[in-house]
Amino acid sequence: MQDYKIAPSLLSADFARLGEEAQSVIDADGDKLHLDAMDNHFVPNLTVGPLVCAALRRYGIKADINIHLMAKPIDRLIADFAKAGATDITFHLEASDHIESSLTLIRNLGCKVGIALKPETTWHCLESILEKIDLILVLSVNPGFAGQTFIPSTLDKINQIRNLISISGYDIRLAVDGGIKIENIAQIAEAGADTFVAGSAIFDHHDYAEVIAEMRRELAKVK
Ligand code: DX5
Ligand code: ZN
């Protein structure tokens, strides 16, 4: 079986108990945490910044924290999130004025480098930067809110990006974010994804361990 990873998205957690919620999903067998940083400008919602990432580390969270930046400009936030204990920093191409320098900045600060693609963003722009990235995050909903429905045309995009990664030979994770549920996770894996970001499917369930185990059972069926 593929090395599949499940990344609970804290956007759907109870923010009044964020440390406890973050630890609970890791104890429930989540692989890493996904933290959405939205600025009410790049996307129409406002969430959290580096202070909250630092607070999670102070609370004692040892798991990887993936930052999904939905903000503009990004370079100062990149530096602040790296200092706050982020493991990976992923940004949308449209949010950077100098993509190469943002990629280099993340790498030089010791974090893994991710590129996020909105549903309408073509994957062709990845071709020239593949050697500089560790992670591609394909948005399967319009970024901004949890609980939306998976956009089916994303499956084809995932498939094409999987081919691109295979041909390149680089070691790049292919993550999908938005609308992932027990019912569709296997199909998304079959299209070529190896990392699954899920917010409402996990946090709206009364038993985090049960839903994550159910997702893993679905993934185990994928050939
Ligand atoms: C949406 C965020 C997602 C969000 C996904 O803009 O990037 O990470 O938490 O939520 P669900 O899994 O509920 O679609
Ligand atoms: Zn996200």
- Spell out the SS3 assignment of 95-113: HCCCHHHHHHHHHHCCCEE
Q: What residues flank ion ligand 2 with Cβ within 5 A?
A: 36, 68, 177
Instruction: Return mean pLDDT, the chain.
Output: 98
CA 82 vs CA 62, 148, 156, 166: distances in Å: 15, 29, 33, 29
Report which secondary-structure segment, H or E, holds 69. Answer: strand 65-70
Q: Atom of ligand 1 at shortest distance to CA of 204?
A: 13
Residue 89 near ligand 1, beta carbon < 6 Å? no
Catalytic option among 39, 88, 177, 194 = 177
For the Cβ of 211 lying below 6 angstroms from any atom of ligand 1, the answer is: no
Of the chain, the percentage scoring pLDDT greater than 70 comes to 100
- Is residue 1 very low, low, confident or very high in pLDDT (cuts 50, 70, 90)? low
Q: Is 8 in the pocket of ligand 1 (CB under 6 A)?
A: no
CATH number at residue 111: 3.20.20.70
> Does the CB atom of residue 198 touch ligand 1 within 6 A?
yes
pTM summary value: 0.98
Q: Which residue's CA is minimally distant from atom 6 of ligand 1? A: 143
33 C-alpha to ligand 1 centroid (Å): 12
**Is 11's C-beta closer than 6 angstroms to any atom of ligand 1?**
yes
Average pLDDT over residues 134-142: 98
Mean per-residue pLDDT, 134-147: 98
Calpha distance 76→20 (Å, rounded): 28
- Ligand 1 centroid, distance to 180 Cα (angstroms): 9
In the annotation, is 177 catalytic? yes
Domain count, the chain: 1
Compute the distance from residue 216 Cα to the ligand 1 centre, in Å: 19
DSSP state of 13: S
Distance in Å, CA 104 to ligand 1 centroid: 27
Q: Is the pLDDT of residue 185 over 70?
A: yes
H or E segment and range at residue 139: strand 135-139
Say yes or no to pLDDT of 40 above 90.
yes
Cross-strand partners of 117: 138
d(Cα 33, Cα 166) in Å, to the nearest integer?
26
Please give the residue range of the domain that contains residue 206. Answer: 5-220
> Does the annotation mark 88 as catalytic?
no
**What pLDDT is attached to residue 223?**
86
Mean pLDDT throughout 177-206? 98
pLDDT greater than 90 at residue 2: no
pLDDT in tens, 9-29: 999 999 999 999 999 999 999
